[in-house]
């Protein structure tokens, strides 16, 4: 685990979530080669939900998502990701906001 990855896990650990198991609200479509914006998400996503696999695919684990919408702004129009809000009551639950 990289230093950045352990640091973000420490941060997300403070937060409260109700994860909708098996129903991720964001999906990445399979791609030949990630676009610049999709690749940027592996760095720019504030919860570091996006990762580049050894096979060159960008994948998402949305459990720590704070629903900011940055990935939607960068990658929904190109069709690379499918973005929705979690079902009512699920997802991040800010204690302070």
Partner 1 sequence: MIKEKFDAIVVGAGMSGNAAAYTMASHGLNVLQLERGEYPGSKNVQGAIMYANMLEEIIPDFRDDAPLERHLVEQRLWVMDDTSHTGIHYRSDDFNEAKPNRYTIIRAQFDKWFSRKVREAGATVLCETTVTELVRDAKDKVVGVRTDRTGGEIFADVVVLAEGVCGLLGTRAGLREMPRPKSVALAVKEMHFLPEEVIEQRFGLKAGEGCVIEAVGTISRSMAGLGFLYTNRESISLGIGCLVSDFAASMESPYVVLDTLKNHPSIRPLIAGSEVKEYAAHLIPEGGYKAIPQLFGDGWVVVGDAAQLNNAVHREGSNLAMTSGRIAAEAIVQVKSRKRPMTKQNLALYKTMLNKSFVIKDLKKYKDMPDLLHTNSRNFFTTYPQLMSQAAQNFMRVDGTPKLDKEKATTTAFIKARSRWGLLSDMVRLTFAWR
Query: Which residues make up the interface to partner 1 (CB under 8 A)?
Result: 4, 7-8, 11-12, 14-15, 18, 36-37, 40, 43-44, 46-48, 66-70, 72-74, 76-77, 84-89, 91-97
Sign of CA dihedral 39, 40, 43, 45: negative
Smallest separation (angstroms) from partner 1 to the CB of 64: 10
Pair 37, 74: CB distance under 8 Å:
yes
Q: Which spans in 1-97 are helix H?
A: 3-13, 36-44, 70-75
Helices (H) and strands (E) in the chain, counts: 3, 6
Pair 28, 81: CB distance under 8 Å:
yes
Smallest separation (angstroms) from partner 1 to the CB of 55: 21
Smallest separation (angstroms) from partner 1 to the CB of 60: 15
Q: Which is nearer to partner 1, 4 or 29 (CB)?
A: 4
Q: Which is nearer to partner 1, 29 or 44 (CB)?
A: 44
Smallest separation (angstroms) from partner 1 to the CB of 39: 8
């Amino acid at each position: 685990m990289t230093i950045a990855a352990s640091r973000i896990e420490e941060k997300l650990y403070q937060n409260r979530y109700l994860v909708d198991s098996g129903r991720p609200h964001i999906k990445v479509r399979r791609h030949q080669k990630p676009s610049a914006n999709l690749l940027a998400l592996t760095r720019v996503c504030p919860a570091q939900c996006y990762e580049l696999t050894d096979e060159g695919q960008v994948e998402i684990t949305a459990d720590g998502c704070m629903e900011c919408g940055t990935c939607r702004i960068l990658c929904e129009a190109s069709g690379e990701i499918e973005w929705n809000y979690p079902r009512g009551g699920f997802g991040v639950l800010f204690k302070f906001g």
